Every structure is written in C-alpha cells, then in structure tokens.
Structure 1
C-alpha cells in the first residue's frame, strides 16, 4: 500500500506529470479535476496536492477539504499566489529551476525585439512599406543590464546576455559574491541601459520599480518584466512610456489580465505578452521533473530544496 497519496490534475497538460510521479515508489497518484468544487472521499485523504500546470490558482478552495494535507507542490517558480492560503505546518514548495531556460529565452527575445525595432518593422510590413533607414535599430553588444533577481532565472538571463556581449549586474535579497543587495539599487540604476525583473513577488519587492526607480533610469532605457506585475508601479510606468523617455517589454502586468481600454495597451514603446514567457513545448515536463524531486525528498523525510520559508 502506498504511504503517500498525491493529487494531480486530470487535464491534458498534466498527463506528463501523472506519468512521472507514477514512477515514484510508495506514491499513489490520484487524478482530480481542478475545476470541480468537491473532492471524492478518496481524494480528500491525499497528503500532497499539485495544482495544475495552467491557471494554478484554481484548486486553492480545495485545501479546506484536505484534512490530511502535508505538502503543496507548485509548478510555478514563485509561491506568492498560494502562500497565504496554505496552512501553517504544511510544506509549500515551488518548481524553481524549471523555468530558467524558457523564461530567459523570452527575456532575450524581448530585448532583441525592442533593440532591433521589430514592432515597428512589422507595422511597416503591414503597410507594404520598404522602411530602409526609417527606423533606429540598436545593438545588445556593449549594453549594461541590471537584473533584479539572482535566482535560476536571473542567472540564466545573465548567461544568455553575456553571450551577446552585454555586461550584467545582479541584485538579490541578500548580497553575496557577484550579487548586490537591494540597498544598492538606487546607486546601480544609472548607467544601465536595460533593467530586467526576474525577482519573486513578496513584501520587499511589491512596488519596487516605482516612480522614483523609473525616473532614475537613463533616457532611452528599456524595462523588461518577467517577474510579477505588482513589482512595477503601472501608473508610474505608463507616465514614463507616454513621454517616450523609456521603453518596456512586459510578460506580466498589474492588473492582470490587462483589461481592454487600459492605457498601457496604447503606450508607445511597449510590447506585451500575456504571461506566456514559460509557455513553450516541454516546460510542463521540466516543472514535473523538479516537482518529482521535491516530493521524493519530502516523502523520504527530508526538507525539499524549494520549500518556502513558513
């Protein structure tokens, strides 16, 4: 008889997860529908809950039905959507590390799209205009990039950028060799032509990129947000974009989803993707491979490396 039971979404995106987890000894995989408000009696006895790959917040209301719950294993890099709902004493772990490749690739593509003026080129193409010398392209080579967040995603971004001749400056919640502290940010902003946000959302990072931060950025700088929308003050960003002083590439926004009619849609110099930086083939598999390692550690009596401080 299995010692632990884990609830895994029955949706097609999570099929690979059910297959990966089924190979773990002493673990019984129970499929559940994340859209269904009630669990069966068997499902309610599960000790581990994994939210679905897409729209992972949906099963939050199911927590109160899980009296034996001991662990919530997320497939996201952060835990901000769940941390206030998971009871004390229940281990909450992320899939940190799984998203580094896909998200860092998005960051690089967003930077190059802005520097090489692809949005303008596509608009010229739409009007069948041969726009030779009618736009100002730029190069990534020689650029200085400030990266807020020195986890697996931030480090992967740095590696990709440095391969293009850019130099990077990393900032994290705690200073260490090669990584600066948040207290140093005001002095670091000037002189960097690109700022990339990959930090998690928490009390310290909420609203970190505010009006003062944005006003400290050099004229013509580019802000790239691949973290969470609430890290950036949207009103302050809109103000800067409308003047044309800054540009932005955003995978996340506040509010999210960005509603029709919001001024951010019409701002000059911004490109927006719908929180899809990680959404490429194979990412769900990467997430479940990390989740499986976290669960193996937990069921063996250890503390998962991605466990959130509680």
Structure 2
C-alpha cells in the first residue's frame, strides 16, 4: 500500500481515486507533526507553497519510510541542504510554465506600453497622453534561461510578433526551433535585443549574472524583466541604470526579498514591481495533480521519481 500525504482536503479531492493500492492522508508539515498512526506508513509527502524551514523538513525526517518529497516550486535551492538523508526531492518543473509565461507577457506589455504611467495619471485625474510608447510587436526578446518556462514565454511573445532567442549554458537549437546562445557569449549578444527576460534559477553560476557589465551591454531604452530569482540581478547596478534613465525594468523577484518599505527600488524610475507572484499555481490545478499521479505510478513501479532533482543528505 502506498501512502500519500497531502496538505488539505481540497488537494485530496482534486487528486481523486489513485487506485486500490493508494491511501491519501491529510498532513501539512507546516502546521503539525506527522500523525502518530501514519508516521511509519507515509511514502510520499506533498508540501504546500511557502514550505521552507528546517522544522518542516525535520518533521518529515521523523517519518522513516518517506521516499519522495514533492515540493510545489521549480526552484529548490532554498531547501537543498535540509532534505532528510536518502529522501528524493522532486520539484514542480513544468507545473508553473503557463502562469510564469502569462505574467512575463503582462509585464512586457505593461512596461512597453507604459501602463503604470497611465494608471498614475488616472489616479490623479489627468488626461496625460503619450501616444508614442514603443510596441511589443516587432521587438527582439532574449530569454536568459531557455528551458521549459523559457519555451512557454517564447511562445507567448511570438504570438505578439516578437522575435525570440534564448540563452543557456551552451549554444543549441531548442526543440521549438529557437536559437539558443551560450551564456559565455552574452556580452556580444545583448546589444541586439530590446527586451531581456531572466528566468534562471539562482546558484553560484548565476549569482549577480546581471551585473553592471551585463546591463551596460543592453541598448538604450531596453527592458529587463526578471521572473527568475532576485539574486541573479545586481540591485545596485540596476538602480544606477534606472536612475540614469537608460533602461526600464519589470521585476517579479527582487534582492532583497521581500522588498522592504523604503527600499530605493520602490521609487526607481521606469520600474514596475510585482511581489513574486508569477509562478504560484494552486495545488488543485491539473498540472500539479498530474505530477502527483505520476509520482504514485513511479512508486508503484519502483521507477525513478519524476522531476527528481536530488537525494537528501541531511540527517534524520
């Protein structure tokens, strides 16, 4: 019998019948210890959003037979060091592609067509025309981190008649036909793009990737969109470009995060900020429940967990 722990009844209802050999139990490690009568039986733990913290993974570590932890985010660097020994951590790669791509498109359109400027004029009750805002159509966009989310972003930008290319660790042609440049070639590639979208995870190789040199290589008037991780961008370097009036920015993630009251990014010119909401998919969505069902099939068949990203080494 496979026992799957889900955080609430809504997720259980969305999953439905997983087979005669599967039991669903309600357990949210954010709130309580594992139920005493289930502690030794749980095989798969499905965590809710905003689930980080040693106490949460410590509670999971008291369950000796847990094989897989399914997190709801694509990023996992925030918990990599605290996954219990021998437990597979699976991320939610693919679940959030659509939502992140939608938000990227919204940020691109809002920034290029200056919607914040018009909203401010509306609040002031002023008819303030700026009819020569640059269109998104016919612009050139570079998606830095061209994986599954990057492909989803590219598809939506192309629907707006944008030319799209990508950046990854090495040069290639993506499955959707997109030209992907090597990250080592960024300095020579960046001057050719009006919109640059950051969708990379944060690790040692991407820390402050968008630094003063990166930003200086972007052409005047270009737009930087960050829907990846805040620490990929050097905030001080970006602030310098914004105050110089040379670049525009639309940020769903920031460094620091949450952005504290009074931080200079709040009032920086030509900067649109949303509070890290691009990729929050509800756990009753079919993209998430389909992933959990695939985890159950893998447990049943003794196969590798879908979306496995690491095996924990933290002590139980």
Same fold (TM over 0.5): yes
Are 1:146 and 2:147 an aligned pair? no
Quickly say closer, same or farther: Cα 1:239–1:308, change in 2 above 3 A.
same
Listed as ranges, the matches of 1:257-296 within 5 Å are 257-279=258-280, 284-296=285-297
Per the alignment, residue 39 of structure 2 pairs with 44
* 1:40 to partner: Cα distance: 2.4
Quickly say closer, same or farther: Cα 1:235–1:25, change in 2 above 3 A.
farther
* 1:116 to partner: Cα distance: 0.7
| 1:137-195, Cα deviation, whole Å (9 max, x unpaired) | 11112111110112211001111111111111111234322322221222211111111
* 1:198 to partner: Cα distance: 1.3
Cα pair 1:94 1:291 within 8 Å, conserved: no
170-179 or 120-129, which moves further after superposition?
170-179
Q: How many residues align?
A: 303
CA distance in 1, matches of 2:30, 2:79: 17
Per the alignment, residue 28 of structure 1 pairs with 23
Per the alignment, residue 176 of structure 2 pairs with none
What SS does the corresponding residue of 2:262 show, helix, strand or coil? Answer: coil
| Superposition TM-score, scaled by structure 1 size | 0.90
Per the alignment, residue 90 of structure 1 pairs with 87
Are 1:243 and 2:239 an aligned pair? no
* 1:290 to partner: Cα distance: 2.0
Listed as ranges, the matches of 1:43-82 within 5 Å are 43-45=38-40, 46-52=42-48, 54-57=49-52, 59-82=56-79
Are 1:121 and 2:118 an aligned pair? yes
- Structure 1 gap ranges (5+): none
| Superposition TM-score, scaled by structure 2 size | 0.88
Listed as ranges, the matches of 1:98-247 within 5 Å are 98-132=95-129, 134=130, 136-177=132-173, 178-247=179-248
What SS does the corresponding residue of 1:236 show, helix, strand or coil? Answer: helix
282-291 or 163-172, which moves further after superposition?
282-291
Higher relative contact order (CA 8 A, sep 6+): 2
CA distance in 1, matches of 2:78, 2:87: 15
- Structure 2 gap ranges (5+): 174-178, 312-316
Cα pair 1:76 1:96 within 8 Å, conserved: yes
CA RMSD of aligned residues (A): 2.1
